[in-house]
Amino acid sequence: MDGEGQRMDRVLSYLTLNTRQFHELTLRGRVILSQLPLSLTVLLIVVSGVLFHRDLLASGPFLVGVGLHAVLLALCVLVPWDRLPHATFLVIPLLDFIPIGFMRYGAGTVITGVGLLAVFPVIWLAASGLFPRAALAVGFLASLGIVWVPVFATDVEVNSQTLTQSFLLPFIMLAIGVTIRVMTASMMAQQEVVEEKDRALQLLLEESARRERLLETVVNSVDIGLIALDEAGRPILANRKLERFRALAGGTGDTAESDLRIFQQDGETVLPAARRPTRRAADGQVFSDYLLWWGDRPAQRVLSTSSRQMTNQAGTREGSVVTFNDVTELVTALNAKDEFVATVSHELRTPLTVIRGYLELLTGMPDLEPTVASGLEVVSRNSERLHKLVIDLLSAAEGPPEVTPVPTDFSELVSRHVATAEEGNGNPLVRFEDHTSPDLVALCDASRIGQVLDNLLSNAIKYSPGGGRVTVRATAVDGEVECSVTDEGSGMSPEELKGVFSKFFRTSGARNAAIPGVGLGLAISKAIVERHGGTITCRSVEGVGSTFTFRLPLAHISQDQQLQSQ
Ligand code: ADP
């Protein structure tokens, strides 16, 4: 039934000249199909002659016309048009005018209007799109021939009356030819546009398939886990590496992220679902180097995760990409380094304390030889430096410092440390300016914040070898105390500025100039300030100078509360 229906559909679409299917036919098929309307009309005339106009079948020219037409139809079927030069088939519509002329002449007045059959070859010629002007001219002249040849060939009197009797036919044919030509031209142009678009679309599809293959290859060949989410947080792309990480955390293909074995820094406390990376990215958060401990020990790995948002051309969020980088080796190495530093500095501290004790004893002895006294002075200065270094190393290795914030007279604290720095300043080219507002009260641990101030002030001196002003400012801003130390020293490049608060960071300038230091002071200062709930930042321009600014919470104290100050 279905096959029958399809066949019917096909026949109907051929008959209604569905252009696409017509063009898919062979040339022979197209020639037969183009001739068929004329043949069917001729058949209709013959049948009507058999039924109603017997005398028509007695007309010799009419029968010759029908016979010639039958020959042409046979040629359409038999000639291998596909193997001949393309335009050869035009012979058929051209020859069609001859049998039509015969039939028209033979039909005489028995059946009028047979000459109108010329419309079929005219349409065919015009619709072929080949030799458009010649086709129109031939259609017109052949139609003229159909009406004039009988006048000249028979003994009818040739005069203006007989010549113009059927004069309308060639002109109607010409008009039809022109109309068909215009329609065909516009259809062909449209067809070309459609084909061009088709080709462009095809190219686009190929390009997008190529890009997809490229993306898949790249995504699967990188050594980091990767997942892309749509705007609703559903995964749209994930690579094999991520599958391996998920397997490590006890996940299979469709395990939800919340069911994976992901832990916090201690490697044991399960990370809450809301703080897991894919979930955070789906919530629209952007983060970098978010460290997580995946899987159970001993196979546990440390992954550094980052997320970025994807936006469309209009700038609205379209989803996000999360990356997972295995940094286990790096974290292990860093831990080993911290442990080593802690052990070594611990071991150094005890003998150093003994040395400092004996030095104090010795320098306090009366009647020392001047050379011995100055030698002891050098030893003592250097042992102090060594002591400071060991203390820094220990506090850096110990992790977050302990602080006990209490309401503190911050203005006094700053001024005292500026005065001490000024006193110990060995560079006569450096001068100090203190613009601290009076009566500032901060909630802080005075000795720890004193450590921060000392570090910033000593850096300002150390990194201003050419001298300059060191300006200290402290004011109350937005419910916080803001303190800044500005120097006119060497400054730092934007690249160096990025690492300034990292442990063991030193600029190449500082190293080359052999300015003493190990790059721990600022990392410790940052940890102290952050432990107070504050912030510390740095602005610096190479060759111009630097400003370090930290903020601490202001303290609100009542009359009877004691301020911390020494
Ligand atoms: P240290 O001074 O002991 O090297 P810090 O942690 O205090 O360690 O400083 C880290 C690095 O930052 C320094 O080595 C120096 O290169 C740079 N730096 C710090 N303060 C300044 C400053 N005021 N001007 C220029 N560079 C600075």
Per-residue pLDDT, averaged over 20-47, amounts to: 88
222-326 and 406-553, same CATH topology:
no
List residues bridging with 228 in a β-sheet.
237, 321
406-553 is classed CATH 3.30.565.10: yes
139 Cα: distance to centroid of ligand 1 (angstroms): 97
Residue 19 pLDDT more than 60?
Answer: no
**Separation of 456 CA from ligand 1 center, angstroms?**
9
| Beta-carbon contacts of residue 460 (< 8 Å; ≥ 6 apart) | 430, 470, 485, 486, 487, 489, 546
Reply yes or no on whether the pLDDT at 165 is more than 90: no
User: 258-289: b or e for each residue (b if 16 or more CB lie within 10 Å)?
Assistant: eebebbeeeeeeebeeeebbbbbbbeeeeeee
How far is it, in rounded angstroms, from Cα 66 to Cα 235? 74
Q: Determine what percent of the chain is predicted with pLDDT higher than 90.
A: 58
Q: Whose CA is nearest to atom 3 of ligand 1?
A: 517
Tens-place pLDDT, residues 183-227:
988 988 998 999 999 999 999 999 999 999 999 899 888 999 999
Spans of all domains in the chain = 3-198, 222-326, 336-396, 406-553
**pLDDT tens per residue across span 284-319:** 999 998 999 999 988 899 999 999 999 888 888 899
The third-level CATH classification (topology) of the domain covering 222-326 is: Beta-Lactamase (3.30.450)
Give the model's pLDDT for residue 203. 96
Atom of ligand 1 nearest to the CA of 545: 24
Pocket test for ligand 1, best of 430, 506, 550 (most atoms within 8 A of CB): 506
The tens digit of pLDDT for each residue in 462-518 reads 999 999 999 999 999 988 999 999 999 999 999 999 999 998 899 999 988 888 888
DSSP H stretches of helix in 296-445: 328-363, 370-398, 410-424
- Tokens encoding 24: 């898919």
- The CA 289 to ligand 1 mean position distance, Å, reads 24
Alpha-carbon distance of 94 to 105, in angstroms, equals 18
Give pLDDT, residue 111.
84
Residue nearest to atom 23 of ligand 1 (CA): 460
**Tokens 């058999």 appear where?**
50
pLDDT number for residue 6? 64
Q: What is the Å distance from ligand 1's center to 506 Cα?
A: 6
Q: Of 32-36, 308-312, 352-356, 400-404, which gets the smallest average pLDDT?
A: 400-404
Ligand 1: residues with CB < 6 A are 455, 459-460, 463, 487, 489-492, 500, 505-507, 510, 517-523, 546
Ligand 1 atom showing the smallest separation from residue 490 Cα: 25
The amino acid present at 115, given as its one-letter code, is G
Q: Which residues of 471-506 are buried (b: 16+ CB within 10 A; e: fewer)?
A: bbbbeeeeebbbbbbbbbbbbbeeebbeebbebebb
pLDDT at 1 > cutoff 50: no
Rounded CA separation 339/333 (Å): 10
Whole-number Å distance, alpha carbon 519 to ligand 1 midpoint, is: 6
pLDDT band at 566 (very low <50, low <70, confident <90, very high): very low
Strand-pair category, 545-553 with 480-486:
antiparallel
Instruction: Find, among 178, 121, 109, the residue nearest to 145 by Cα.
Output: 121
Confidence of residue 21 (pLDDT cuts 50, 70, 90): low
Instruction: Choose among 229, 217, 266, 222: nearest CA to 245.
Output: 222
User: How far, in Å, is the centroid of ligand 1 from the Cα of 153?
Assistant: 118
Condensed to tens digits (0 to 9), the pLDDT of residues 222-277 reads 999 999 999 888 999 899 999 999 999 998 878 888 889 999 988 889 999 999 99
| Average pLDDT in the chain | 89
**566 Cα to the center of ligand 1, angstroms:** 29
Give the mean pLDDT of 150-159: 79
Task: Give the pair of three-digit tokens for residue 495.
Answer: 């690249």
Q: What is the pLDDT of residue 7?
A: 63
Summarize the confidence of residues 161-169 as an average pLDDT: 78
> Which atom of ligand 1 lies nearest, measured to the CA of 507?
16
Backbone angles phi, psi at 498, to 5 degrees: -65, -30
State residue 226's pLDDT score. 94
Q: Would you place residue 5 in the very low, low, confident or very high pLDDT band (cuts 50, 70, 90)?
A: low
Residue 449 Cα, ligand 1 centroid: separation in angstroms? 18
CA-wise closest residue to 177 among 221, 227, 234, 135: 135
State which ligand 1 atom lies nearest to the alpha carbon of 500.
12
Q: What share of the chain is helix, strand, coil (3-state, %, to 5)?
A: 60, 15, 25
Please give the average per-residue pLDDT across 46-75, as a whole number. 92
Q: Is the separation of the CB atoms in 321 and 285 below 8 Å?
A: no
CA of 9 to the centre of ligand 1 (A): 86
User: How much is the pLDDT for 54?
Assistant: 85
Q: Which residues contact 166 (CB under 8 A, 6 or more apart)?
A: 115, 147
Our CA dihedral for 62, 68, 72, 73, rounded to 10 degrees, sits at: 50
Our mutation pick for probing the ligand 1 site, out of 458, 500, 536, counting the most ligand atoms within 8 A of Cβ, is: 500
Q: Which residue is closest in CA terms to ligand 1's atom 11?
A: 506
